[in-house]
Every structure is written in structure tokens, then in C-alpha cells.
């Protein structure tokens, strides 16, 4: 069994802990939280050792892989500590707040010679994976355009609302998913050459100075176009959708509506992430951890780590995603197409 240590105790950490239950050759053995009370709750729930510091967790000989499920501004420090102890590292999205910071993270991992994975769940979700298979099999001919959108009413944790500390608003928080989806479908060797983006704080002026709604156009070297939409202003639960248009057809994926939905007058408890109401029309997503690709992602990472091979998503991908989003933020200010280095 491969021992895993988890840095963080919030929503995404819970999702990763649950996902690891689906990985036959890995075991969550340790955790760390900046909040000692939450650390106790998390360690008791998952029956793991709670460490008081990140350094202590990374020094734990039972830990072979460190998963970083912490706010954006702590990723760099966490990678530095894990790399110093020679641990393999999986870091949640976005890798960093800027391309420069992401490059620092990649350089640290490479200098230490540690294995690394970029935890971008969207490309591992079952419906997106199936759509990818169909596209690669030529089902819709040559892929020409992609429209991807992720929307909800705002982040779980308050630190996301602090745009200055977090590095950005909705585009960085959720656009990182759809930017990587576009790279996944159009091919990573098919580089994004320029972008045009718009963003505004439309509904949450009292919470954030960052954009709570954004749209970006990504032009690819091969002539394809991706439209990326990110929103913190949509009520009624998650919106996760891809529309792929080719020369011989189209494919649509939608993770927003699962196999269960209904109208209820009495609350039934948790139904879906970021549901804004407990009654009325509800659209529960059964097995969210699996439906959103967390389990498949962790299996992929652990299998590659065990084999000593490179996963499909690494810190290098995280750097490119941050590079593209940096260009989008420049475009928001300049109101022009911006080149991507």
C-alpha cells in the first residue's frame, strides 16, 4: 500500500479522502489542517494521524505521496516542504496564482527530482472521458470548437473571495478547469497562441474585488477556438457543461443534471455541491466524488506513481494553465487580444 498524506481539511480535502477509498493500492495515513479543531474532526472521521505542521506530515516515513488541498497562496510553501523531504506531490488546481509562481513550483519539484501530478479533475470525469474517446475515434470528424462553462453561486471557503490573496476571481478558480479541458481535447502540442477575455464583479461587490463572471476566447495554433465561461453568480447548484463541435457532428457533456431530479417541499439534507435551496426543484448528483472525476484522477495518479511513470497531468500542465489565465487577465485590462508566450 502506498501511504498518502493530505494537507487540508476543507471540501476538496474531503473529496480527495473519499476518492482514495476507490484506489486499491493507496491508503490515506496522515492529515494536516491549519485549524486544529478541524484537524481533529478530519483525523477522527478518516482514522488517520493528525500532524500539527506541514513539515511534520511531510517528514512522516509512512507518507510517500503528499496531496496539497490548501488555498492557492499556500501551494508554493507546501511544495517546498514536501520536496525538501523527497515526497511525491499531487497539487490541487490551480497550481499557483500566476505563471511565475507556478514556474517556481515546477522548478522546485524538478530540482528535488520528485514525482508530481496536477490535480485537474475535469479531464477525468466519466462523461468528459467518454466524450474524449469519441472525439479521438473520429466520431465528429475534425474538432473545430469547444464551449465549456462552470458556474455556481460562489466558493465554499472565504479565502477564495479574497482576490488579492487568492490571485484572482472566478476565472482563476474555475477557468483553470475549462482551460485544461480545452488543451485536453485540442491536444497539448496544439498551443494556445492568443486570448481575449472579459470579466466583471456583477453580484458580489460586498464579498470580492475579483471578477465573479468571466468569458475567455482561446485561439489555438491549429486554428481551433475554445470559449471558456466561469461564473460565481448562478443560483441553483453547479453548472458543468462541454459542447464540442466537429466537422462531422457534435458532442455535449453535462454534469449538472444527473439521473435523479425532482420537486420537493420538505428538505432531505445534502443534495449536491453548492445547492442554494433545500426545497423546490432539486438535481442531486449521486456519488459526486466519482461523477466529478476525483476517484478516477486519484487512481490514475497512484497507478503512475507505482509504475514510476509520468501521469497525464503534471506541474508542467499547471504552469501552462496559469500562463493562459495570466494572458486572460491582461486581456481583461487591455480589452484586446493578448499573445500567449
Q: Is 231 within 8 Å of 239 (Cβ atoms)? A: yes
* In a shared domain, residues 170 and 257: yes
Strand pairing category for 239-246 and 225-231: unpaired
d(CA 141, CA 247): 5
What is the per-residue pLDDT for 130? 97
The residues pairing with 145 across neighbouring beta strands, listed in sequence order, are 225, 245
* In a shared domain, residues 32 and 105: yes
Model's pTM, two decimal places? 0.94
CATH number at residue 285: 3.30.360.10
Q: Is 281 within 8 Å of 85 (Cβ atoms)? A: no
What is the per-residue pLDDT for 221? 98
What is the per-residue pLDDT for 270? 79
Domain count, the chain: 2
What is the per-residue pLDDT for 78? 98
Tell me which residue has cell 478518516: 46
What is the per-residue pLDDT for 285? 81
- Least Cα distance to 60 among 52, 72, 68, 71 occurs for 52
d(CA 10, CA 294): 15
* In a shared domain, residues 53 and 172: no
Summarised one tens digit per residue, pLDDT across range 10-52 is 999 999 999 999 999 999 999 999 999 999 999 999 999 999 9
What is the per-residue pLDDT for 261? 76
Range list of H helices, 28-120: 36-46, 54-59, 75-84, 99-112
* In a shared domain, residues 213 and 331: yes
CATH number at residue 302: 3.40.50.720
d(CA 86, CA 172): 29
d(CA 163, CA 207): 10
What is the per-residue pLDDT for 59? 98
What is the per-residue pLDDT for 98? 98
Measured in whole angstroms, how far is the alpha carbon of residue 146 from the centre of its chain? 19
d(CA 75, CA 107): 13
CB-based burial of residue 281 (10 Å sphere; 0-12 exposed, 13-18 middle, 19+ buried)?
exposed
* In a shared domain, residues 186 and 76: no
* In a shared domain, residues 33 and 106: yes
Residues of the chain with pLDDT under 50: none
* In a shared domain, residues 233 and 299: no
* In a shared domain, residues 27 and 70: yes
* In a shared domain, residues 187 and 266: yes
Amino acid at each position: 500500500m502506498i501511504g498518502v498524506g493530505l494537507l487540508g481539511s476543507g471540501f476538496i480535502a474531503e473529496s480527495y479522502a473519499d476518492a482514495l477509498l476507490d484506489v486499491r493500492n493507496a491508503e490515506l495515513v496522515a492529515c494536516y489542517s491549519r485549524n486544529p479543531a478541524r484537524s481533529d474532526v478530519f483525523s477522527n472521521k478518516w482514522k488517520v494521524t493528525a500532524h500539527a505542521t506541514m513539515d511534520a506530515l511531510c517528514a512522516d516515513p509512512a507518507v510517500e505521496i503528499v496531496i496539497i488541498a490548501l488555498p492557492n497562496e499556500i501551494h508554493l510553501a507546501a511544495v517546498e516542504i514536501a520536496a525538501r523531504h523527497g515526497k511525491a506531490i499531487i497539487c490541487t488546481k490551480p497550481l499557483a496564482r500566476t505563471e511565475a509562481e507556478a514556474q517556481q513550483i515546477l522548478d522546485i519539484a524538478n530540482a528535488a527530482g520528485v514525482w508530481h501530478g496536477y490535480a485537474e479533475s475535469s479531464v477525468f470525469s466519466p462523461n468528459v472521458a467518454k466524450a474524449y474517446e469519441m472525439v479521438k475515434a473520429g466520431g465528429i470528424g475534425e474538432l473545430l470548437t469547444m464551449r465549456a462553462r462552470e458556474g455556481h453561486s460562489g466558493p465554499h471557503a472565504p479565502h477564495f473571495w479574497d482576490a488579492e490573496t487568492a490571485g484572482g476571481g472566478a476565472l482563476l478558480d474555475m477557468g483553470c478547469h475549462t482551460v485544461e479541458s480545452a488543451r485536453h481535447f485540442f491536444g497539448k502540442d496544439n498551443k494556445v497562441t492568443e486570448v481575449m477575455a472579459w470579466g466583471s464583479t456583477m453580484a458580489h461587490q460586498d464579498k470580492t474585488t475579483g471578477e465573479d463572471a468571466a468569458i475567455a476566447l482561446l485561439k489555438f495554433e491549429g486554428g481551433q477556438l475554445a470559449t471558456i465561461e466561469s461564473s460565481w453568480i448562478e443560483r441553483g447548484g453547479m453548472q458543468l457543461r462541454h459542447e464540442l463541435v466537429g466537422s462531422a457532428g457534435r458532442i455535449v457533456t453535462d454534469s449538472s443534471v444527473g439521473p435523479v431530479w425532482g420537486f420537493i417541499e420538505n428538505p432531505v439534507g445534502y443534495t449536491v455541491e453548492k445547492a442554494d435551496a433545500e426545497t423546490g426543484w432539486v438535481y442531486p448528483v449521486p456519488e459526486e466524488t466519482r461523477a466529478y472525476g476525483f476517484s478516477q484522477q486519484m487512481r490514475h495518479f497512484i497507478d503512475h506513481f507505482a509504475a514510476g511513470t509520468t501521469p497525464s497531468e503534471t506541474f508542467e500542465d499547471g504552469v501552462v494553465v496559469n500562463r493562459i489565465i495570466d494572458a486572460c487577465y491582461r486581456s481583461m485590462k487591455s480589452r484586446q487580444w493578448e499573445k500567449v508566450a
